[in-house]
Amino acid sequence: MSEDFQAFLSNLPQAIANGLVRGSIYALIALGYTMVYGILGMINFAHGEIYMIGSYAGIIAVAALSTLGLGGMGGPLSLAVVLVLSMAFAMLVSGSIGFTVERIAYRPIRGAPVLSPLISAIGMSIFLMHFVMVAQGKDYKQFPIPLHDKLVVTVIKIGTPSLGSWWPEGSVELTLLDLLTLAAAFGLMVGLYVFVNKTKLGTAMRAVAQDKTMAGLLGIDIDKVISVTFVTGAILAAAAGVLITIRLSQTFYTAGYIAGMMAFTSAVLGGIGNIPGAVLGGLVLGLAEDITSTYPGGSDWKVVVSFVVLLACLMFLPRGLLGERVGERA
């Protein structure tokens, strides 16, 4: 067995752990795509940009707190409070932009076939990306390194045993941030599950997704439900934006493109319109990416591998992993 492969196997447990963290972030973004698709039957291409705006808002909030001398480094507020506040601010900004985007670009053409809203969404994506570029400048925005360092400390380290001569021993390290990311992502997903299934608004949402006309006749305010869907998706994306900004220590105005693309792929992989499917798709894609790039020379091929995974899945399950039978669509 080649040395490269041995090294790959010993790295595998860590790659799986990283993949789960990355996948849970993809899943958070994918939820926004899948919810909007479930209700409007359209791809909200601008969703990646909403996520990117969330990451900017998170950095702005942290900078605001440290400029006011309140938190971050030396202020009275603890790190946890700073994180919660910045995430709340990011959710506020992204949520309100998600709301506005729907009002301006999608509501006037609701009911048109797939292509018109899609082009409008692509236009909105280009617009938002360059709006942020012009408004906030073209350089990378950095999450304060001292805060980043406090969060990126290894808290769990497990050695994985060797399984005979062919499987070398390895280890898994998880940082505080990894755990926080997993906790926040799954907390939000459980929250979403409860919201969609146990509240009145969530029931209305599912009703609108099933039959808009009928839901309207039953007195459900469709406009309101759609707005709520967009805002909810944007809030989840903003959380993902803040988490990943801390993880990567920086954000950039084009960050929404690749993340949006991967998240969208996750949503389709899981079966678009299906909430658990989006989560599953995100995890699968995250794992595929991290495992591929662990192999020597593999990082060149990981986008290829991701799409091959998607293709293989769609060949056999044309509606995605958890996709249900849905009406034929043109």
Partner 1 sequence: MLRFRSRVSLASLVIGAASAAILAGPAGGPRPASAGDETLKIAVCGPMTGGQKKQGDDVKNAVSLALDEWNAKGGVLGKKIEMISRDDEAKESQAVACARQIAAAGVVGIIGHFNSGCTIPASEIYKDAKLVMITPSATNPKVTDRKLWNVFRVCGRDDDQGGVAAKFVLEKLKPKKVAILHDKTQYGEGLAKQFRDALKAAGGVTITRFDGISQEETDYKAILGAVKKTEPDLWYYGGMYDKGAPITIQARDVGLMAPLVSGDGLKEEEFLSKAGSKCEPCFVTFGPDPNGIPTAKAFLESYKKKFGQEGPYSVYAYDAANILLEGIKAAGSTDGEKIAEAIRKRAHDGALGKLEFDDKGDLKTSIYVVWEVEKGAKGFKVCWSPK
Partner 2 sequence: MSADRGIRDRALHAARLVLLVLLVSSPLVWLKLERAGDETRDRLAFNWERASGLLHALPWILLVLGAGAALGFFLSRFKGAIASAGDRVRQEARKLAATRPRRAALVALPFVLLVLFPFLPPHLSKESQLSVQNYTNVVVFITIYATLAVGLNITVGQAGLLVLGYAAFYEIGAYSYAIIAQPERGEHGLVLAIPLAIVASATLGLVVGLPSLRLRGDYLALVTLGFGETLRYVIRNLEDLTGGEMGLSIPDRAKPPTLMLSSYALDRQLSVLVGTSILLALCISTTARIQRSRVGRAWLAIREDELAANCMGIASRYYKLLAFVLSAIWAGLAGVAYAGQVGFVSPKSFEFDESILILSMVVLGGMGRIGGAILGAVLLYTLKWVLQDKFSEYTDYKNLVLGAIMILLMVFRPQGLLGSAQLAQELKGEEASAPPPAAAPALSQGAAP
Residues 17-36 that bind partner 2 (CB under 8 A): 35
Position 5 contacts partner 1 (CB under 8 A): no
User: Could you say whether residue 66 binds partner 1 (CB under 8 A)?
Assistant: no
User: How far is it, in rounded angstroms, from Cα 120 to Cα 115?
Assistant: 8
**Token digits of residue 27:** 């899943």
Of 142, 216, 227, 276, the one binding partner 1 by CB under 8 A: 142
Report CA torsion sign: 162, 164, 168, 174: negative
By CB under 8 A, name the one of 7, 16, 64, 248 that touches partner 2. Answer: 64
234 binds partner 2 (CB under 8 A): no
* β partners of residue 251: 141
Report which DSSP code applies to 173: E
Least distance to partner 2, CB of residue 8, Å: 18
Name the maximum alpha-carbon separation found in the chain: 67
CA 91, distance to chain mean position in Å, is 13
Nearest-Å Rg of the Cα atoms of the chain is: 21
Alpha carbons 104 and 113: distance in angstroms, whole number = 18
In the complex with partner 2, the residue whose CB is nearer, 157 or 198, is 198
Of 37 and 143, which CB lies nearer to partner 1 in the complex structure?
Answer: 143
Question: Is residue 134 part of the contact set for partner 1 (CB under 8 A)?
Answer: yes
Give the residue with the Cβ less far from partner 2, 18 or 45: 45
Q: What is the DSSP string of 205-244?
A: HHHHHH-HHHHHHTT--HHHHHHHHHHHHHHHHHHHHHHH
Q: Which residues bind partner 1 (CB under 8 A)?
A: 7-8, 10-11, 14-15, 18-19, 22, 103-105, 107-108, 127, 131, 133-135, 138-140, 142, 145, 148, 152, 175, 244, 247-250, 252, 254-255, 257-259, 289-290, 293-300, 303
